[in-house]
Amino acid sequence: MLKEFKEFVMRGNVLDLAVAVIIGGAFGKVVSSLVNDILMPLIGLILGGIDFSGLSFAVGEAVIGYGAFIQAVVDFLIVAAAIFAIIKVAGAAKKKEPEAPAEPTTKECPYCFSVIPIKATRCPHCTSEL
């Protein structure tokens, strides 16, 4: 059973997925830092000194922190745009070049205009030498 598990883990798909999850987590942290530490303070400054992380309101005893939600939405939009761009670039790189047309296997007799094999030296229809 341990051998089967080792074979399963060492498959290319599982390792690729593990690397993607790790890189995705690190990328998410970088984007969250970009949003929370750079973009949202600049947006708040442009909008008159608003601190989005502190925006909230109370409903009874519950505190609704909608500023954190706004930051999460901006965070999501940036991650989604980056993933879209990566997929777009990867898709463009994967596009196959058009295959060269196949070499012709037939030709036309210049005398009777019948279709004949390309290697023919005499037309089978009009018996002309080619």
The tens digit of pLDDT for each residue in 27-74 reads: 888 888 888 788 888 888 888 877 777 788 888 899 888 888 888 888
**All domains of the chain in start order, with CATH:** 2-94 (1.10.1200.120), 101-130 (no CATH)
**Roughly how many angstroms between the first and final C-alpha of the chain, as a whole number?**
72
For residue 26, what are its two tokens? 């690190």
pLDDT digits (tens, 9 = 90+) for 67-102: 888 888 888 888 888 888 888 887 777 777 777 788
For residue 24, what are its two tokens? 């995705």
Threshold 0.75, pTM exceeds: no
In whole angstroms, what is the distance from residue 56 CA to residue 109 CA?
86
Nearest residue to 40 (alpha-carbon basis) of 73, 7, 12: 73
Distances (CA, A) of 113 to 31, 103, 119, 122: 69, 20, 16, 13
Confidence (pLDDT) at 12: 66
Coil/strand/helix, residue 88: helix
Residue 11 reports pLDDT greater than 80? no
Coil/strand/helix, residue 6: helix
In whole angstroms, what is the distance from residue 20 CA to residue 29 CA?
14
